[in-house]
Amino acid sequence: MARRKKGDKVDGWLVVDKPTGPSSANIVAIVKRCFNAQKVGHGGTLDPLATGILPIGLGEATKTMPYIVDATKEYEFTVKWGEDTDSDDCEGKFIHTGGKIPTDDQIQGVLSGFIGLIDQVPPAYSAIKVDGQRAYALARQGEEVALKSRIVEIQSLNMVSSSKEVGSSDFHVVCGKGTYVRSLGRDIALKLGTYGHITALRRTRVGPFGLEGAISLEMLEDMSHSARAAGLLQPVTTALDDIPALAVTAPEAADIQMGRSIQNPKAKQGTCVLMNGTQPVAIAEAEADFIRPLRVFNM
């Protein structure tokens, strides 16, 4: 006999505007408690220092998580010039100080070199695994962490403002999967012949999720029971807005939910979302004349 899962079956997306301080895992724990949900996960980690959009998937929404992790993201960030740290942000220990403060024209002159596909070395204090251990754990033990560079995509990068008094500049970036904004700030400074580190970082968009649909942590914690909080959830399919939808009949939906392929010669080739009315049935792949299920929803 199968063991009964603890908690309630709750399906959907919740978009939290994360404050500075708590980790992404802390937010997940709060959401799980608030909804008494069986299954909860987050779509893309935010450092404790960072604020902004943290999409939380509940129940069947966790099956769409890869599409959010791979989605385009937008950030606002501040670089403090002339100083760098071992974590590439203001929570680390200073390595160098006294570097020059670049002019706005100098900054503008190097930004185009960071647009497109670029090589980027992640921060030593990151969650990347090295010989089975997290890089940040090794760095905290005083070990030297040498991470390999990786290709990331920067779609746009703009300087928004500067403060000569503070010696810092504010930026907006639109980037692809796996981009480390801390590394980007560090590398812009190095390109300018100086040092730099991130002092503020805010994620303003993850795929279809923006600040306009986000709730504060205070609002979430004020929800005394899951019935009130349920009204904040967005549909499971919100994460799949960029994937074509294909209508299926009730008998076809039953076959798909049993893991069987169905025949449909008119289906557009590639990944699609199968819908029976307003009910999502599965993420599927159309090949030749057949559609095979990839992830089936149990709604």
User: Active-site residues: which are they?
Assistant: 47
CA distances from 235 to 45, 52, 280 (A): 21, 20, 10
Which single residue is written with the structure tokens 């991470």? 147
Q: State the distance between the two ends of the chain, measured CA to CA, in whole angstroms.
A: 22
3-state secondary structure of 153: strand
Pairing of strands 133-134, 94-96: unpaired
Instruction: Give the number of other CB atoms < 10 A from CB of residue 144.
Output: 7
Asked if 13 and 233 count as a contact pair (C-beta separation under 8 A), the reply is: yes
Q: How far apart are CA 68 and CA 26, in angstroms?
A: 19
Residues 6+ apart with CB under 8 A from 71: 43, 177, 206, 207, 208, 239
CA dihedral for 20, 23, 24, 26, sign (positive or negative): negative
Q: How far apart are CA 251 and CA 248, in angstroms?
A: 8
The two three-digit tokens of residue 22, written as one number: 């708590």
Closest CA to 93 of 139, 57, 156, 46: 139
- Cα 50 to Cα 71: distance, rounded to the nearest angstrom: 18
Judged by DSSP in three states, 166 sits in coil
Which residues share a beta bridge with 118? 152
